[in-house]
Amino acid sequence: MNSFFKINKKILLILLILVPTIFFVTVLFEKFNIEKIKNDSNLIDPKFDIVNPSFTINNDEEKISVTAAKGNFLGKNLILLKNNVYFESNKFKIFSDEVTFNRKEQTANSKTLSKFESEGTEIYSEGFSIIQQGDVILFDGKTSLVLNQ
Extended strands (E) in the chain: 50-51, 54-58, 63-67, 70-73, 78-88, 92-102, 107-110, 114-118, 121-131, 136-147
Distance separating alpha carbons of residues 98 and 36, to the nearest angstrom: 32
User: Between these two residues, 6 and 116, which has the higher pLDDT value?
Assistant: 116
Taking residues 12-26, what's their average pLDDT?
Answer: 84
- Cα distances (Å, whole numbers) of residue 64 to 58, 92, 94, 112: 7, 9, 10, 20
Return the DSSP state at 91. S
User: Residue 44 pLDDT more than 80?
Assistant: no
Please tell me the predicted confidence (pLDDT) of residue 41: 47
Lowest mean pLDDT among 6-10, 12-16, 42-46, 129-133: 42-46
Q: What is the pTM of this model?
A: 0.63
Q: What percent of the chain has pLDDT over 90?
A: 5
pLDDT tier at 4, thresholds 50, 70, 90: low
User: Residue 5 pLDDT more than 80?
Assistant: no
Contact in structure between 104 and 127 (CB atoms under 8 Å): no
Per DSSP, helices labelled H in the chain are 9-42
Mean pLDDT of all residues belonging to the chain = 81
Distance separating alpha carbons of residues 129 and 141, to the nearest angstrom: 11
User: Between these two residues, 124 and 60, which has the higher pLDDT value?
Assistant: 124
Please tell me the predicted confidence (pLDDT) of residue 24: 84
Q: Tell me: the pLDDT tens digits for 57-113?
A: 877 778 888 888 888 888 888 888 888 899 888 888 999 989 998 888 888 899 989
| 3-state secondary structure at position 31 | helix
